[in-house]
Structure 1
Amino acid sequence: MIVRLTGTIIEKTPPQCVIDVNGVGYEVNLPMTSFYQLPNGEAPGEETKVTLFIHPIYREDTQALYGFNDKFERDLFKELLKANGVGPKLALAILSALSADEFISAINQGDVSRIVKVPGVGKKTAERLVLEMTDRLKAWSERVPVTVMTSKQGEMQMSAPEALEQTTSPTNDAIDALIALGYKANQAEAAVKKVAQAGMSSEALIKDALKSMI
């Protein structure tokens, strides 16, 4: 079973990336909180690697890898999957709209109004999440994330060995990413247009659009 991948990011299409590991490409689904920290691909020829903690899901109709920049976030994803009515797509949407710390805080405080703003999470689902996960997450605020995503400068942001292809505009990429996370097309388009400014990357557009809706 795959639990960790170390390699080079060769393709980025939010909320997915492809990691080249010794010549084999692995498609990985990520929450946007982890996607923001992937290589930018702005410095061709610069050797960098990234490590993602992986949770694989194998079913009869699909096989998918879900990646996170630290074990803390991966473990929270796995806890979310244990909740009634929460599948991988919804868990990914939750951890894209809220950081791990923000979600844990919302659960511990019983803040249903904050959780319900995540796409696909209705009031009943939010209330059920609080009920099911409060006891399990009480001690999580004391845990320290173990992060291994690094660059040779020791920073979270890195440069890929060769420029990543940009086949569509950042605005379209951002809208497509929000739709993939569960937002309706009109919601995604309105949120992106609301925050869009000249020169913004797709990652920045997604981040600001998500903040505007939470």
Structure 2
Amino acid sequence: MIGRLRGTLLEKQPPWLVIDVQGVGYELEASMNTLLALPGIGETVQLHTHLSIRDDAHLLYGFIDEPERALFRALVKVNGVGPKLALAILSGMEQDQFIRCVMDSDVKALTRLPGVGKKTAERLIVEMQDRFPHWVGGDETLPAGQAPSTTPASDPRGDAEAALVSLGYKPTEASRLLSGLEDELSTEALIKAALSRQFTG
């Protein structure tokens, strides 16, 4: 089992990244919160990881801290929630916001996440409410003060739209969330702004 990686950040193309560890390039998929907290290309990174083994692939997921990985692992234990949906949830909401929605039985807010319908939202609430008391009041937020880095890209808007689609948004919805945003923004900044719109627009 691969539990943690420390190496040089080679590529960052949301939601994917590649880390060079002593000459071996590890490809990982990460939430947008993790990607936005990463340093620039060529710098040293350390991520907690989760390895998912399927018949057709070994998939590695990266997390900026242990609380995010713990929440991911709790999510994938919920009936009907796989790694892709778990990453979409982590990308669409801050951890403390998601915990509040579950504890408050806020079905409406949860259904605004891509891939989460009413039944899935209700299942998340029922199956996760008992797991969260030890989270509440803890320091479970992402590290503060880390500005998102920019990654050279030929088409930041196109890359941002592709990343949103990979999270489960329909192409038309991804395009709507990105409409009107400044073209000068980086891919990561566009994604962050688009995700924040889902609860205000």
TM-score normalised according to structure 2 size: 0.92
Change (3 A) 1:66 1:82: same
Q: 1:90-169 to 2 correspondence within 5 Å?
A: 90-145=85-140, 156-157=146-147, 165-166=152-153, 168-169=154-155
Q: Distance in 1 between matches of 2:58 and 2:128?
A: 27
**Residue in structure 2 matched with residue 48 of structure 1 by the alignment:** 43
Q: State the match for 2:173 in structure 1.
A: 187
In the alignment, the residues of structure 2 paired with residue 177 and residue 135 of structure 1 have an alpha-carbon distance, to the nearest angstrom, of 32
Per-residue deviation, 1:146: 9.2
Give how far 1:40 is off: 3.1
Q: In the alignment, is the contact (CA less than 8 A) between 2:94 and 2:141 conserved in 1?
A: no
Match of 2:156?
170
Query: What are the Cα deviations for residues 87-144 of structure 1, in whole angstroms up to 9, with x where unaligned?
Result: 0000000000001111111111111111100111001110111011001112212333
CA distance, structure 2, for counterparts of residue 146 and residue 105 of structure 1: 13
* Equivalenced residues, count: 199
| Residue of structure 2 equivalent to 1:21 | 21
1:141 alignment partner, SS class: coil
**What is the deviation of 1:62?**
1.5
Paired residue for 2:185?
200
SS at 1:86 equivalent: coil
TM-score in terms of structure 1 length: 0.87
Q: Do 1:77 and 1:92's aligned partners in 2 also have CA atoms closer than 8 Å?
A: yes
Whether the aligned pair in 2 keeps the contact of 1:70 and 1:146 (CA below 8 Å) is no
CA distance in 2, matches of 1:38, 1:5: 13
8 Å contact 1:33–1:96 — kept in the other structure? Answer: yes
Say whether residues 1:209 and 2:194 are aligned partners. Answer: yes
Q: Which runs of 5+ in 1 are unaligned?
A: 42-46
> Root-mean-square deviation (CA), in Å?
2.1
Query: 1:172 aligns to what SS in structure 2?
Result: helix
**Within 2, Cα distance between the matches of 1:97 and 1:158?**
16
Query: Residue 65 of structure 1 is aligned with which of 54, 60, 66?
Result: 60
Residue identity in the other structure for 1:12: K
CA 146–205 in structure 1, closer or farther in 2 if over 3 Å, else same: closer
Relative contact order higher in (CA < 8 Å, ≥ 6 apart): 1
8 Å CA contact 1:71, 1:146 repeated in 2: no
1:44 aligns with none
Partners of 1:28 and 1:208 lie apart in 2 by: 23
Instruction: Give a deviation string over 1:12-38, Cα, whole Å, max 9, x none.
Output: 110110001111100111010111011
- Identity over the aligned pairs, expressed in percent? 46
Residue 12 of structure 1: aligned partner: 12
Structure 2 unaligned residues grouped into runs of 5+ = none
Are 2:36 and 2:148, in contact at CA under 8 Å, matched by a contact in 1? Answer: no
The answer to whether the 8 A contact 1:10-1:164 is kept is no
Offset of 1:9 from its aligned partner?
0.8
